[in-house]
Amino acid sequence: MSGYKVPEQVAIVGFDGSAKSRELGITTIRQDINTICNVCCSNLLSMIHKSKIYDASQTIPVSLIKRKTT
């Protein structure tokens, strides 16, 4: 992709806002790790105890952190 201009010609988006992406100004998608862990643990306990049927297609919200690459 040599010669392309970011963000004029190509938009770049990363995941989880690592320190390097902040340093470089890369737009990222932030996932709430605490919520993901809570949902996973809850589903696992439900499976172990067979206490309820869980929805394997749960949607957990994300947020867009716009920086220089979009």
pLDDT at 38: 92
CA distance 69 to 59: 26
11-59 pLDDT tens trace: 888 887 778 888 888 999 988 889 999 988 988 888 888 877 766 778 8
Residue type, 66: K
pLDDT at 64: 92
Contacts of 66 (CB under 8 A, 6+ apart): 27
Q: What is the pTM of this model?
A: 0.62
pLDDT at 1: 55
- 35-44, long-range: CB within 8 Å, 24+ apart, which pairs? 35/60, 36/60
> DSSP per residue over 8-42, as a string?
TT---EEES--HHHHHHT-EEEEE-HHHHHHHHHH
